[in-house]
Amino acid sequence: MSTPTLQHAPAAPQPPKPRRATGGLLDPGMLAGSLPAAVRKLDPRVMWRNPVMLIVEIGAVWTTILAARDLSAFSVLIAVWLWLTVVFANLAEAVAEGRGKAQADTLRNAKKDTTARRLLGWKPGADLSEEDVPAAQLQQGDIVVVEAGQIIPGDGDVIEGIASVDESAITGESAPVIRESGGDRSAVTGGTKVLSDRIVVRITQKPGESFIDAMIALVEGAARQKTPNEIALNILLSALTIIFLVATVTMQPFAIFAKANNPGVLDTTALDGNGVTGIVMVSLLVCLIPTTIGALLSAIGIAGMDRLVQRNVLAMSGRAVEAAGDVNTLLLDKTGTITLGNRQASAFLPVGTTTQDQLADAAQLSSLADETPEGRSIVVYAKQAYGLRERHPGELAHAQWIPFAAQTRMSGVDLDGRQLRKGAASAVAGWVRDHGGVVSPALGDAVDGISASGGTPLVVGEVSNGQARVLGVIHLKDVVKAGMRERFDHMRAMGIRTIMVTGDNPMTAKAIAAEAGVDDFLAEAKPEDKMAFIKKEQEGGRLVAMTGDGTNDAPALAQADVGVAMNTGTSAAKEAGNMVDLDSDPTKLIEIVEIGKQLLITRGALTTFSIANDIAKYFAIIPALFVTLYPGLDALNIMRLSSPQSAILSAVIFNALVIIALIPLALRGVQYKPSSASKLLSRNLYLYGLGGVIAPFIGIKLIDLLIQFTPGL
């Protein structure tokens, strides 16, 4: 038995087409609707999950207490804006969660109280008694029957029958789908509706853990767990917060010492007789710690999953979305993913004295009753390429149609004393010889040429007026989907290697791989070969993504770092993968990788902006705070802010407003353009690093001018 071979299929890279960033901008209506949820998140039991913003909330509480004792415009405004900072941070997360509310409401409508017809003592073909039970009481392993017009009560697999099912409540697609026992299209989802016929379903879900329950929790963000990268970044932000906290606290003894040596400047600084005021210390701390990324970090993760939901992909965890962004290798099935899935007629090659038109006419006529996709493609190709009029079997009432049989490996028609056969080369050649004809050596050359190119040859033979001959060969080929080469070039520019997996022989696989533009292919692959290949890739430190829909794909889906199961597939496949594509489009794996990369880039860009932001705010506050004590600091007072109090208040206001300003970017994501890691780093540093330094100088100065000309401030 031949073993699978991994072979190289080079393709010259071409410039990728840029993709437009997706995701809605900030909607004022959504903003207002999310405000109550943001206020509810002020509960310390919720805030503790975000240490940076918990520190800000504690500071807001302490400032409020101090402001109640002082009741100056400065102290009250600082307290108000610190609270707004916390609310804006919660608002970012609430808006991100709110974007999934509409889909969650649709899903809840699908998940309504349903009565299940549970079969007792089920056996195939037996006429059994049944009982009506609430769908919520169904247990794993129960057998239910569902007929036309009824709602499927729970997730399961069809074990008997075939039916048309309306899954629009889940996928949004109005066209019904076919679900049948056996094969890879047996899985059904609770809340969907049977439109025709009758099916028997074995329930595979546990109570309260249905597919719809999981989707509702995930699209609303309730079941989202922090990813390893997110946890690591939270630890870093917490460490920076502690460092700045210590640095801020040390300013108190420093200020006391400075005041003792400069007693005449009490009225011109933000200091009192005991050193730095508590309100100023809290303000300084809030402006220096990384509040911007701390406020937006959770929203970025939720928005990444939401972008997948918008494309009808359900990610079972944020870890899967992150892993998609780091994927190095993509495993893609040939049939239905890279190719259309059905072989199509692409050329007619006449043999001997036969003309192109004669072969086209005979090929079309012999295929009129052939309802296979290949047969239909021959009829269509003859009409489009040779201008033959469309004919139907019903027009030829006196014709005798010869259906395809495994024994003869031919099909055709007997019409007006003329016999036409179409089929495997050896079968048709033998049929011609049996009728006294001679097969030209040119036939073998044509058949071998088509096979060498990865196509499938079908030979057309004729017996007419007592003479038998071969008319020619039909070239059937797997048609590569439009735009696939460009998409693989796009992946290559992203540093991702694409592997085509097929059960075809290496010669056929090589031809398709070269046409599609994939990097490598795995020929004559069995399920265990996919598993072995994934393990081999992972041992080299690479992350692997793949798609699958059958039970035999489940082990490989579970082993892959990103396993995308088709919604039309089996329950085993959906449970093994960490994503489910509701549209069952295998090529969507490419979009999933791009969304994952966009998530990682967005998080990195906003982290860079946040840290750069803090540096600029440092230069805004510290010089204004101590310039009277140390005139040498005036050189750093670039913005020439009107007063220390105005400098501090302006920085606090800007710190709160920048969170609101960046919510749309966190939700939409930073546009991803395939390039090297060094170019991405340079782009981040210039755009978000330099931008993060410049923006506060402009923003704080504008706010200072507004405060300066506002009466009472």
Structure tokens at 698: 């402009």
Please confirm, yes or no, whether 306 is among the known catalytic residues: no
Q: What's the pLDDT at 26?
A: 54
Catalytic residue among 157, 306, 333, 478, which?
333
Phi and psi dihedrals of 130, rounded to 5?
Answer: -135, 160
pLDDT at position 348: 92
For residue 86, the model assigns a pLDDT of 93
Give the distance from CA 524 to its chain's centroid.
29
- The pTM of this model reads 0.65
Whether 613 contacts 626, CB under 8 Å: no
Q: Is 374 one of the annotated binding-site residues? A: yes
Report whether 411 belongs to an annotated binding site: yes
Q: Distance between CA atoms of 136 and 563, rounded to whole angstroms?
A: 29
Under CATH, to which class is 115-152+155-204 assigned? mainly beta
Residue 420: the pLDDT is 92
Name the segment(s) of the chain with CATH classification 3.40.50.1000.
313-338+481-582
Q: Does domain 313-338+481-582 correspond to CATH entry 3.40.630.10?
A: no
* Model pLDDT, residue 376: 84
C-alpha 277/C-alpha 645 separation (Å) is: 11
Domain 340-479 fold = Calcium-transporting ATPase, cytoplasmic domain N (3.40.1110)
Low-confidence residues in the chain, pLDDT < 50: 1-25, 222-223, 263-275
pLDDT of residue 79: 92
Task: Give the pLDDT score at 393.
Answer: 66
d(CA 346, CA 457): 11
| Residue 398 in tokens | 């006196």
Tell whether 462 is in a known binding site.
Answer: no
Is 410 marked within a binding site? Answer: yes
211 is written with which tokens?
């597919």
Please indicate if the annotation marks 528 as binding a ligand: no
- Which segments of the chain belong to CATH 3.40.1110.10? 340-479
| Residues in a beta bridge with 458 | 474
Q: 427: annotated binding-site residue?
A: no
Task: Give start-end residues of each CATH 2.70.150.10 domain in the chain.
Answer: 115-152+155-204
| Three-class secondary structure assignment of 308-357 | HHHCCEEECCHHHHHHHHCCCEEEEECECCCEEEEEEEEEEEECCCCCHH
Q: What pLDDT is recorded for position 264?
A: 45
Q: Is 626 annotated as a binding residue?
A: no
Instruction: Give the integer Cα–Cα distance in Å for 617 and 287.
Output: 7
- AA letter at 43: D
Q: Where are any strands of DSSP class E within 65-126?
A: 115-119
